[in-house]
Structure 1
């Protein structure tokens, strides 16, 4: 059974506030992450390969990993795109289409600094080089707090905007803030999306619902060894002691099973 991991990034730049340390991965650290993946025989895959795995049962390579970036910050073009080209890495960027060419209006100061978002020109250039783009709604709202009509409008308007600008189908989605419920999941399907990423941690396999794909949250403070541990155990939070706790918990579980 093929198992794969999706990594979730946001900003690829130096953090400007304490809160941003989780969401802003410095460019040099980001490149170290990519080098670690390749040095440890991880195989970067595209979102299309993920969909083909679910729709046509096409196997994925061993240690498959998908790189995803949420929101569409300009630093994705300035700092991540050169790394993707240098190492020939596929990736998907989920766009909040209503803020393209503007700033991150949904992020509250002073916890977050004002950041420029991608322009359509930058997006088109990356698309021409093989980077894929999905929807992250129009205004980055909490979908589960909207009415069904409001949520559907966010989903369909973003999809159509991306398709109109790029001239190709937008089939993939990521839930803003990772928030969704049974109704929003159905709306995502009704809007024509084939896959949707959550912020739930863990591995993905054939049994995973492609509309609730799990991702590993990569923090800006994650060293290469921390990211490697996250990939090994499918977790969001790493520590020096996690492997020991993992082994201990497995031993306790096996002992309980043996004792009936």
Structure 2
């Protein structure tokens, strides 16, 4: 009977305890100093995204952007244009390894856009690796070699060449996109933007964008000028066609539209790997 009485008392004690509200004595509450209340209120408000103007974009450190065309062997007697626009497979492999060994991390256009326009952070030692003209070896050699170092590339496609022999197929373009690379536009047939008029803008800017979007199922927001050539008349048309950023070669950027004159450097087949690494520093002297 004594045990039963003891257990009953304990049950009553616990029940009463559960019904009591836990309170914190005023002496233990942390008061926010009056002078800090405004700061706390600001921190609680949604922070507005920074949007840089042209001057602020130009003031950002440039990111090295490499431009490749052909990746194939050539003879010592090849013409200068071939040597300039063609990198041998062994040299390309060596260059990718050198970038990795030096601590570079590949980035894609979305990251560059957010960095330039909104001050978003980039990985340490960023580099962008781009390919022009839709050559088939960019997939079979370029993408395969980059994959060894977890690098991703940007493939600027001229749509007239899709599915032709020695050029990228629709399936390869889709696979490149699905595996994390960026697909971007490089006109329909590589005519100079500086010579466009009338229906050319639709043929060279709008239709290629729509075709590539249909292939990869994603927006196409970036464009590269054939031969790196541009003029002031082209930029409003490129904007109107739905592109967020456009890439030239290593000439001067436009002071009013730096997002549409982003500089790249052609990697020459005449260069050693050491020369290529030195050229990154020389071309992008204020590189991030």
Give yes or no for TM over 0.5. Answer: yes
Residue 204 (structure 2) aligned to one of 132, 139, 154: 154
Question: Which residue, 169, 174, 183 being the options, matches 1:119?
Answer: 169
Query: Among 98, 102, 112, which residue is 1:36 paired with?
Result: 98
Structure 2 portions without partners, runs of 5+? 1-59
CA distance in 2, matches of 1:175, 1:233: 23
> 1:47–1:91: 8 Å Cα contact kept in structure 2?
no
Aligned length: 221
Map Cα deviations across residues 99-148 of structure 1 (whole Å, 9 max, x no partner): 11125xxxxxxxxxxxx211111111111111111000111101111214
Find the partner of 1:14 among 59, 68, 73: 73
Match of 1:75 in 2: 137
Superimposed CA distance per residue, residues 193-220 of structure 1 (whole angstroms, 9 cap, x where no aligned partner)? 0111101258x9xx97111000111011
Aligned-partner Cα distance in 1 for 2:267–2:261:
18
CA contact (8 A) 2:67 2:130 kept: yes
Distance 1:158 1:34 in 2: 30
Q: Which structure would you say has the larger Rg?
A: 2
Q: Which whole-Å CA distance do the structure 1 matches of 2:72 and 2:242 have between them? A: 33
Q: Distance in 1 between matches of 2:249 and 2:74?
A: 21
CA contact (8 A) 1:200 1:214 kept: yes
- Aligned residue number for residue 275 of structure 2: 226
Check conservation: 2:186, 2:223, Cα contact below 8 A: yes
Per the alignment, in what secondary structure is the counterpart of residue 70 of structure 2? Answer: coil
Aligned-residue offset at 1:152: 3.6
Contact 1:2 1:62 in 2 (8 A): no
Unaligned runs of 5+ in 1: 104-115, 236-260
Q: Which residue of 1 aligns with 2:152?
A: 90
Aligned-partner Cα distance in 1 for 2:62–2:228: 21
CA distance in 1, matches of 2:99, 2:112: 18
Q: Structure 2 CA distance, aligned partners of 1:210 and 1:226?
A: 28
Q: Could you list the runs of 4 or more consecutive aligned residues of structure 1 that deviate by over 6 angstroms after TM superposition?
A: none
* Residue 134 to residue 78, structure 1, CA distance change in 2 (3 Å): same
